Every structure is written in structure tokens, then in C-alpha cells.
Structure 1
């Protein structure tokens, strides 16, 4: 997960910088809650990536609203710039690049980035958890 920031050397351009160690979506040890507290459906495993999301379990939605932020969900490639996502408690759902999807059992949506995942048909999800992977790679949630 990251935060959109700039500095003096970027001349006004903004980039996503990691929030901190421990925010990587592909590391299971970064889970900070028990299953009952996971209201946004996040999943931290080797094929998880960061998506802009406002998901909130329907049962919890009336308690507090949910803003759009970077959240971790599983993904798998189905073709060039085509992929599916999985949220806790759901099956695999097509995530059309450049659009947003809703997930059964949740309020809100997940934004599906265009040209950020699954760009090459021969690239599969990483198995080497020690290699660096991008988290949220854009500052524009639309």
C-alpha cells in the first residue's frame, strides 16, 4: 500500500511511495486483524495486489461509511490486461481494466486499473516473495 506524494526533486509530479514496511499486499504476515475484523475483505497472500476500493461487508456498512483507499485483494491473469480478483469470502470475479466492480456481500466497489496488471500473457503471479513488487502504482483512483 502506498501514499501519493511529491518532493522538491519531482517538480510537482506525484508518485506512489510505500506507506511503510508491513504494508505489502503479497506478505501474509502483514495481516493486522482477526478474520472477524476484516470488514473490507482484504487478502494478504503472494498473488495479492493493491486496488483502490471502498468495499465494506454489507452487514457492517451502516455502522460507518467506507472511503476509497488502497486495499489488498488476490488477482490472477486471464489474458493481456485481463484479470480476475478475489475478495475474502467471494469467488473469482472478472475485473475489467479501467472499470469498477461490485462484489456480492459487500457495499462499495473495487477499481480495476488499466495497463497496470497482467500486461504480458506469459507472466504469472510471482512465487518468490522476496522479490520487490509494485503496490498501488497510480495516484488516480478513477
Structure 2
């Protein structure tokens, strides 16, 4: 469970969650309750219990300096339970065999990723693996 408190802002209650991120630094996350301040103190306090109990600091923030291929691996792991087995297997295969090796070589971080990087990947797949537009999409 993470620490949390309520803050009054712009006439509404905000839930403020405080946690330690992977780098050991303390971080906060603000979540609006949508409840107006007048007459909703107890409801807001009750709402605060759920996010505190279920909060996962890994889901809250991805470090902007994370390499894109590492982000994709984490994304796959997170989506494993919500996707049907066939879709997950297809995504996993494509990420591990095609996408990850390309972006691992280029060392592109999430904060640096641009549409031109994705286009470069598509062009690479067309030229190196003779992939058609249909296969890429």
C-alpha cells in the first residue's frame, strides 16, 4: 500500500498518492475524484482507499529514458492477461523476432522516439525482410 492524502483544488478533491519509484526517489501521482468539496469529504476519503490498495508504481510511470525495446517487453508482460492467447502469441512473436532487435540496435529511448523512427523501421522491414505493406500493418 502506498501513502495517500486528499487535496482541495479548484473546488474539487484530488487524491495524492506518494510512493517510491524504482530509482528510490519519492514520487507523487494526482488523481481527480470528480467530487466537489462541499459535502463530499467522507466519499472522497472512501475513494482514496481503493487506489492506495491497488496502486502499482511500475504502472504509474515509465521512465522517459527507458529504451523503446525494453518498454515493449514491459508492455507485453502487462498485456499478457488481458489479451487472448492467440493475439498475445502473435504480438510476442513480432516484438521478439522483428521489432525488438531493430530498436535494440538503434538504442532509441521513449523520449526520443519519433514517427520518423517508426517509418525507418517499416522501410527496414520492406528492404531487409521483403515485408509487404499488408504484412507490416
Give me the TM-score of the superposition, normalised by structure 1. 0.24
Which one has a larger percent helix, Structure 1 or Structure 2? 2
Q: Which of 1 and 2 has greater Rg? A: 2
Q: Which structure has more RCO (C-alpha within 8 Å, separation ≥ 6)?
A: 1
Higher strand share: 1
TM-score (norm 2): 0.24
